[in-house]
């Protein structure tokens, strides 16, 4: 499903899990999102981190 929007709750979960050291594969499996989606959000977060 290309260009499907995900809600802010899942985005926050991605960042929280990733900051706890959970792998991208585990995050994608637990949230039901593709690894590419997880990678894109993490890259965005790292690029614009304050």
Task: Give the number of other CB atoms < 10 A from CB of residue 11.
Answer: 14
CA atoms within 13 A on the CB side of 9: 1
Please state the length of the chain.
50
1-50 pLDDT per residue, tens:
566 788 999 999 999 999 999 999 999 999 999 999 999 999 998 898 75
What's the confidence (pLDDT) of residue 5?
A: 82
Q: Which two tokens stand for residue 16?
A: 């929280």
What's the confidence (pLDDT) of residue 50?
A: 56
């Amino acid at each position: 499903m290309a260009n499907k929007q995900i809600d802010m709750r899942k985005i926050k979960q991605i960042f929280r899990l990733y900051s706890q050291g959970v792998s991208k594969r585990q995050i994608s499996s637990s949230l039901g999102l593709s690894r590419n989606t997880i990678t894109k959000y993490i890259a965005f977060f790292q690029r614009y981190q304050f």
